[in-house]
Amino acid sequence: SRIVRVLMLPVASVCRNSETPFLLVLSYLHVHTALFSSKDFEGKSQHGAYGDATEEMDWSLGQVLNVLDEMKLADNTLVYFSSDQGAHVEEVTPKGEVHGGSNGIYKGGKANNWEGGIRVPGILRWPSVIQAGQEVDEPTSNMDIFPTVAKLAGSPLPEDRIIDGRDLMPLLQGRSQRSDHEFLFHYCNSYLNAVRWHPRNSTSIWKAFFFTPKFTPEGSNGCFSTH
């Protein structure tokens, strides 16, 4: 069945008429520095200012999802939640408090192209179309949002330029087990910094760096002395 509504989070155009197709792009300042939260959440988490901001953003997203449920729009609405980069591991206050979150086992963070800087969670919900609980362990890109939404809306892609994104629906619906991105190019401003290559018909994954950050002090996961 053809989708008639697309809701993307976070990334605003809002239509209050539930019978009209709409696109909501909601971009949060939460968990971006400088950190802040309202009085209802300030000082309430076990992880300082970053935890407070995270919990308030989680609550706010819940409010949006609740409205979709109440208006009986959830089954016909695609929700996409993601981030634009990994956590800023170098964000440290004068008191030594780390305010940039965590990238877990991945090296690096915001502003570089190691996995900690570019690998972010992507969580999608569309109950009538996407199977709940599935995990897709294939590389995609935020550039994929545009062609995916255009395809679902029945709109042709521009033909006067190269579109780098790919339609996500074959992966999300299990019609494909492999990302259409054989190559992913990673930039530092206007400079090509790294290239990821997953050859067709191969389990090998290669990543070439053309220049790398110098992490300091030795053994650290960021360039702390430069911040």
pLDDT tens track for 86-142:
988 887 777 777 777 888 999 988 888 999 999 988 899 999 999 999 999 888 999
Query: Ramachandran region of residue 189, left (φ > 0), alpha (ψ -120 to 50) or beta?
Result: left
User: Is 80 exceeded by the pLDDT of residue 6?
Assistant: no
Q: Is the pLDDT at 143 greater than 90, yes or no? A: yes
Domains of the chain: 5-178 (3.40.720.10)
- Give residue 18's pLDDT band: very low, low, confident or very high (50, 70, 90): low
pLDDT for 226 equals 64
Q: How far apart are CA 32 and CA 44, in angstroms?
A: 18
DSSP letter assigned to residue 144 = G
In this prediction the pTM is: 0.83
